[in-house]
Amino acid sequence: MKSQETITNTTGHRQLSEFAPLFAHLNDDILFGEVWNDPSLDVKTRGLLTVCALTSQGITDSSLAHHIQNAKKQGVTADEMSGAITHTAMYAGWPKAWAAFRLAKEVYSSSLQTKEEYQASIAYEIGEENVKFAPYFEGKSYSAPAADGINHITFEPGCKNHWHIHQADQGGGQVLVCTGGRGWYQQWGQKPVLMEAGSVIRIPANVKHWHGADDNHWFSHLSINLPGKNASTTWLEAVE
């Protein structure tokens, strides 16, 4: 019999260990530790049940999208997901189901490219695995030199770098030029900004931010660090 994949989560401890340690423990160690790994239900069934539970409550934000993606990863087919949401609609209501279907359709309609397929679709080289900065990324990234002081960075689907700050006493900052795929940039306290081929983001110095790939797409950008006095980069916590 195939062994069940172990589910782990450290979001609570990363985000709330000091402010709400009990909640962090319940979230990471109990919910995603003991409950999700209880052998009485396989993770595929548990993932589908979670989607139905969130839909029935009208929770159709990024948390539902995450659990739909997780259910897909655990082997829930598009037909199974469609049937489950339709069944939930009979008890929870039509508007909630419509909102869930919009998210599910986006997750299941995406076709993830292989690394080779994605490389063929962009002009710049993907390069080698970005081992040096791996501790500051959730997921796998790649780096290739593009010109003096300019690197081409590629993120696998779902890969994001941690919150970070390009510090400088004067000048500094960074410019991102998207060369392919679909990704996001977010400045602390603001909504994420979609990045697609041709998008340009000017990141001021001393601003907390992150950037990375959409869950269902590769993403690449040129990374141009602007000259500044006493310039440095401070890496912070992972994106929730």
Mean of pLDDT values over 111-128? 88
**Model confidence over 32-68: pLDDT tens digits?**
889 888 889 998 999 999 999 999 999 988 889 989 9
Give residue 160's pLDDT band: very low, low, confident or very high (50, 70, 90).
very high
The amino acid at residue 61 is: D
**Whole-angstrom distance, CA of residue 157 vs CA of residue 92:** 32
Residue-level pLDDT at 8: 67
pLDDT exceeds cutoff 60 at 105: yes
Q: What percentage of the chain reaches a pLDDT higher than 90?
A: 70
pTM above 0.75, yes or no: no
Phi-psi category of 159—alpha, beta or left, where left has phi over 0 and alpha has psi -120 to 50? beta
Question: Which residue spans within 116-214 are E strands per DSSP?
Answer: 128-129, 137-138, 141-147, 150-155, 160-161, 164-167, 170-171, 174-187, 193-196, 200-203, 208-213
pLDDT exceeds cutoff 50 at 3: no
pLDDT exceeds cutoff 50 at 2: no
Residue-level pLDDT at 111: 60
User: Which one, of 130, 122, 133, lies nearest residue 196 by Cα?
Assistant: 122
